[in-house]
Amino acid sequence: MDISRNLKNTLANASLFKMLDDRQLDEIVFNTSPMRLAQNMSVINQGDVADGTFWVAYGQVKICMYSKQGGEKTLAILGSDKCFGLGEMLLEQPHLAYVKTTADSMLLHTGRDAMLKIAQENFAFSRNLMTCVGRQFYGLVRDIGSYAQTSRQRLAAYLLSQSARESSPEIRLVANKTLIASRLSLAPETLSRLFHDFAAEGLIKISGRQIQLLDPEKMATLVS
């Protein structure tokens, strides 16, 4: 009973489910399985059946694909209160990417039938599902567009995006530099060089994962 109550409280505070009434929330709880995973644990393999949606209660995951050269391309790095697997679930298509944890995490997996049943009953919930899919599609198109940018432009855009998300010129990188390099389609040594160059130019100040944007306006001119 305590486990079920704790799970309900967790889901009630999740942005994906906060608009559900008590009965609908109970339905979701009944069809949700918690997954506590250590760092670097597999969550989804390429080709797995999409039988539900995952939500990150805490921790972090990376969504990746293998390149033709056998390397790893990071498509997304997702932290707390983020969902994944929604598009595949709605389309009833197997997962094209694989997902692994990058930190100790708790994920919640909710079955497809329950998700679709509640979506039919609750317009606000179905609209939220559409918003999540739309946001992921928008991000994918934005990433495709970034391939035409230089490496300096990609890093500048990434740092400005993080600063806007945190509403502060002082940000903390969400992952290690190797993972961020993969996310930006850069070699790790290229990313390290760019961070050094930006610091030397007075654009940023670096302290471990802490980055302070010293001249956001000038940095924005790199992207435009």
Q: What is the pLDDT of residues 51-60, one digit of tens each?
A: 999 999 999 9
Q: Are 185 and 151 in contact (CB under 8 A)?
A: no
Q: Higher model confidence: residue 99 or residue 168?
A: 99
Task: Provide the residue ranges of all domains of the chain, joining segments of one domain with +.
Answer: 2-146, 151-223
Distance CA(48)–CA(40), nearest Å, equals: 18
The structure's pTM equals 0.84
Q: How confident is the model at residue 224 (pLDDT cuts 50, 70, 90)?
A: confident
Per-residue pLDDT, averaged over 142-165, amounts to 88
Task: Collapse the DSSP code of 37 into the 3-class scheme (helix H, G, I; strand E, B; otherwise coil) and give the result.
Answer: strand
CATH number for the segment(s) 151-223: 1.10.10.10
**Least confident span in 7-11, 35-39, 99-103:** 7-11
- Please state the rounded mean pLDDT for residues 30-41: 96
Task: Look at residue 3 in the predicted model and tell me its pLDDT.
Answer: 57
In sequence order, what are the residues at sequence separation of 6 or more whose Cβ sits closer than 8 angstroms to the Cβ of residue 221? none
How far is the CA of 71 from the CAs of 65, 66, 112, in angstroms? 8, 6, 32
| 156/21 Cα distance (integer angstroms) | 42
How large is the average pLDDT for residues 23-35?
A: 95
Average confidence (pLDDT) over 21-42 = 95
Q: What is the pLDDT of residues 160-180, one digit of tens each?
A: 988 988 888 899 988 888 899
Q: What is the pLDDT of residue 109?
A: 97
Specify whether domain 2-146 bears CATH 3.30.1330.50: no
